[in-house]
Structure 1
Amino acid sequence: MMDLESDLDLQNRESSYANYLPDELLLQVLDFLPQSEESQATLANFVLVSRQWYSVGIARLYATPYLVGQRYTHFVRTLCPSVIPRIKRSELAGLVKALDLSRIVHQGAKSTTARLLGRTKNSLELFIAPQASFAINCWAALSKCTSLKVLDLGLVSEAISYQSLNQTLRQLVRLEELYMPRCSTEFGLGPELLTCRLHWPPHLQHLSMSGSVNGKFLWEMLRQPETFPSSLHSMSLLHCPGLDQQGIKPLLSNLADRLTVVELRDLPAVKQGRFNGVLGWLPNLTDITVALDYIDEDFGRRPGDFSPETHWHLAKPLTSLTLVTSGHQEYDPRRAFTLVDLWDLIDTRYFGRLRRLYVAASTGWEKVDEGALWETVRVGLEGLDRENWEKRRWHYEFLRGVPEDMQYEEWAETREGWRNRPRAQFIRNI
Structure 2
Amino acid sequence: MVLPFEIILRILNFSEEATCMNHLLICKAVYIMLLPRLYSSPQLNPTNFSKFVEVVSLPKNKKRFKNFVKCLDLSFIIQSGKNSFVSKLLRRFSFSLEIFVASQTSFGISPLISLRLCHNLKVLDLRLVSETVNLRELFSAIKAAPFLEQLSFPRSSITCEDYDLEWPESLWYLRLQGGISNQFLTDSHFPQTITTLEFSHCPNITGESINDLLIRIGYNLTKLSIFYPMPCLKGNSMDTVFLYCPQLTYLYINIEYITKDLFDEELLPPLEEYERPLKTLIVDSSGLLGQGTKIHPDDLTIAICEDRLPCLQSLKVSLMLGWDFKSDAVQYLVSEFDDRGGSVYTL
Q: 1:253 to 1:331 in 2, by over 3 A?
A: farther
Moved more, 354-363 or 318-327: 354-363
Deviation string, structure 1 residues 41-98 (Cα, Å, up to 9, x no partner)? x62232233223323422221111111022212211221114xxxx761422411111
Which residue is equivalent to 1:245?
A: 207
The Cα of 1:200 is off from its aligned counterpart by: 0.5
Aligned to 1:26: 9
1:79–1:90: 8 Å Cα contact kept in structure 2? no
Partner of 2:146: 173
Pick from 143, 162, 182 the counterpart of residue 155 of structure 2. Answer: 182
Secondary structure (helix, strand or coil) at the match of 2:143 reads helix
Q: For the residues of structure 1 that align with 2:78 and 2:191, how far apart are their CA atoms?
A: 34
Report the Cα offset of residue 375 of structure 1: 5.6
Shift, 1:362, TM fit: 4.6
Q: Name the structure where helix makes up a greater proportion of residues.
A: 1
Match of 2:301 among 326, 333, 343: 343
Kept in 2, the 8 Å contact 1:129–1:152? The answer is yes
Asked if the contact 2:115–2:142 (Cα under 8 Å) also holds between the matched residues in 1, the reply is: no
SS in 2 for 1:358: strand
**Paired residue for 1:147?**
120
User: Structure 1 residues 350, 25: closer, same or farther in 2, change over 3 A?
Assistant: farther
Shift of 1:20: 5.0
Q: 1:350 to 1:215 in 2, by over 3 A?
A: closer
Unaligned 5+ residue runs, structure 1?
A: 1-17, 34-38, 386-421
Larger Rg: 1
Aligned residues: 345
SS of match in other structure, 2:218:
coil
Whole-Å Cα distance in 2 between the matches of residues 425 and 24 of structure 1? 46
Is 1:202 the counterpart of 2:162? The answer is no
- The answer for the alignment partner of 2:325 in structure 1 is 369
CA distance in 2, matches of 1:48, 1:373: 63
| Aligned residue identity for 1:128 | V
What is the match of residue 192 of structure 2? 230
2:312 to 354, 378, 393: 354
Aligned-pair distance for 1:216?
4.0
| CA contact 2:263–2:299 (8 Å) conserved in 1 | no
How far has the Cα of 1:174 moved from its partner? 0.3
Deviations along 1:234-284, whole A, 9 cap, x unmatched? 211111011121111101111133222211122122122221111012222
Contact kept, 8 Å, 1:235 with 1:259, in 2: the verdict is yes
Per the alignment, residue 178 of structure 2 pairs with 211
1:94 match: secondary structure: coil
TM score, norm. by length of structure 2: 0.88
Question: Counterparts of 2:159 and 2:135 in 1: how far apart (Å)?
Answer: 6
* TM-score, structure 1 as length reference: 0.72
Q: Percent identity?
A: 27
SS of the counterpart of 1:27? Answer: helix
CA positional deviation for 1:125: 0.8
**Aligned partners of 2:75 and 2:102 also within 8 Å:** yes
1:113–1:133 contact (8 Å) kept in structure 2: no
Contact 1:277–1:300 (8 Å) recurs in 2: no
Using the alignment, how far apart are the partners of 1:372 and 1:62 within structure 2? 56
Closer, same or farther: CA 120–288 of 1 in aligned 2, 3 Å: same
Query: In the aligned structure 2, how far is the partner of 1:30 from the partner of 1:371?
Result: 52
Distance of 1:369 and 1:167 partners within structure 2: 52
Give the match for residue 53 of structure 2: 76
Q: Report the equivalent of 1:15.
A: none
Shift of 1:24: 3.9
Q: Is 2:198–2:225's contact at 8 Å kept on the other side of the alignment? A: yes
Residue deviations 1:188-239 (CA, integer Å, cap 9, x gap): 4xxxx4xx52110010001110011214423432xxx3xx333221211111
Q: CA deviation at 1:326?
A: 3.6
**Contact 1:134/1:156, CA 8 A, preserved across alignment:** yes
Deviations 1:383-403 (A, max 9, x none): 235xxxxxxxxxxxxxxxxxx
Which residue number corresponds to residue 323 of structure 1? 283
Does 1:111 find its partner at 2:84? yes
Alignment pair present for 1:256 and 2:218: yes
Structure 2 match to 1:122: 95
- Are residues 1:289 and 2:209 paired? no
8 A contact 2:72–2:99 mirrored in 1 = yes
Instruction: State the distance in 2 between where 1:379 and 1:30 align.
Output: 45
Alignment partners' CA distance in 2, 1:44 and 1:325:
45
Q: Is the 8 A contact 1:105 1:132 kept in 2?
A: yes
1:10 corresponds to: none
Cα deviation, 1:129-170, whole Å, max 9, x if unaligned, reads 112242111111111111111100111111111110121121
Instruction: Give the distance between the partners of 2:68 and 2:44, measured in 1 at CA.
Output: 15
The 1:211–1:140 alpha-carbon spacing in structure 2 relative to 1, beyond 3 Å, is same
1:46 corresponds in structure 2 to 23
Structure-1 residue corresponding to 2:34:
57
Which residue number corresponds to residue 99 of structure 1?
72
